[in-house]
Homo-oligomer: A and B are copies of this chain.
Amino acid sequence: MFPLSEGHFAARNRWYIAAWSDEITRTPIERWILDEPVALYRQENGVPVGLDGRCPHHLYPLGKSGTKNDNIVCDYHGLEFQPDGTCIGAPFLEGVPGACNVKSYQLREKWNWIWIWPGDPELADESLIPDHFEIGVTNPAYHAVRGLRLDIAARYQLLNDNLLDLQHLEVLHAGILGNDGIGQADEERGSGEDWILSARKMRDIELPKAFQPFFGQRRVDRTLTMNWHIPGLHVGPDIFTVPEGEPDAGREIMQVIAYHALTPARRNSCHYFVTFARSFAHGDEAVDQAMLKSFRGVLDQDVFAAEEIEKQLQNASTPQKEILFKSDATLVIGRRLLEQIIAAETT
């Protein structure tokens, strides 16, 4: 579906972020992921479980049911399911047909994230989860913050597009996170089968307003990168160094790494998990809160854009086309890489 080509919705045999760790407790919740309801809860030992959200008996939501020890028990007739999806019975049943077993999703809890593999559990390949030390969240050099989850009334690819396209910072986030010149800065691009990276270096610019509360009003060189680990996570280091001509030129002043994860909820909606790590003020909660607040302001602009475009798409009485510029190349390559992953699954 637009903006992907017709027939492409999402890659199922890949990892996505399903939840913040602390969202999942002993009490099940229902969360729609890739157009399916998933019941998420924890076993007594804390291990998270994801089961098909519909009881196969009468389709009552397991994500709105309760637990009994490690199992989920349907609130309607008491069918009991083990973490592996096996139905072990109900008060009124003697012998349980195997047809009652439900899908158990592969989950991995890493740092503050619960990763989910929506596709075939047999194919779940943990090595496809981005290395958490490498991306920074578990690297002690950075202070990583438990961030936000936003429910977005827009198809997920609109926000992946948005992230691959750093040019929008200059306009949509002008005066907060953007600088004159991001759009003009030379772009370096790299890509592989399941990743694409865009970097832009700006020289001798003013530190963006979002960071002035911590480092004052000063000149910097800035290298902003966005690296999409397709499909589930964007990692965006934003590195500020002392500009040419100043003593100490080239020294890193600070680094902020943004993390953006988009997980399709239904066809026209998604979950947006977002947070950041930083190289300074380790453990300072006041800085955490101030930066989250500033982040939220920027995100609200992105979300507004995506939701408005979604409305235009849904309300249009005729099919809409977009015009792509040379400067949209990264976004277009990103879509093609994702489409190839989706296509490979279905053939």
Residues of A within 8 A of B (CB): 32, 35-37, 53-54, 56-61, 64, 73-78, 90-93, 97, 99-100, 161, 165, 167-168, 170-172, 180, 183-184, 266-267, 305, 308-309, 311-313, 315-317, 320-325, 327
Task: Give how many copies assemble into the complex.
Answer: 3
A77 to B73: give the CA distance in the assembly, Å.
50
A161 to B78: give the CA distance in the assembly, Å.
16
A97 to B61: give the CA distance in the assembly, Å.
52
A316 to B59: give the CA distance in the assembly, Å.
11
Chain B nearest Cβ from A70, distance in angstroms: 19
Q: Please, could you name 21 A-B residue pairs with CB atoms under 8 Å apart, sorted by A?
A: A32-B315, A53-B312, A54-B316, A54-B320, A56-B322, A57-B322, A59-B309, A60-B309, A64-B308, A75-B305, A76-B172, A77-B183, A78-B170, A91-B167, A91-B180, A91-B183, A91-B184, A92-B170, A92-B183, A92-B327, A93-B327
Which of B92, B99, B266 is within 8 Å of A323, CB to CB?
B99
Which residue from chain B places its CB closest to the CB of A304 in the assembled complex?
A: B64
A74 to B325: give the CA distance in the assembly, Å.
15
Which of B78, B90, B312 is within 8 Å of A37, CB to CB?
B312
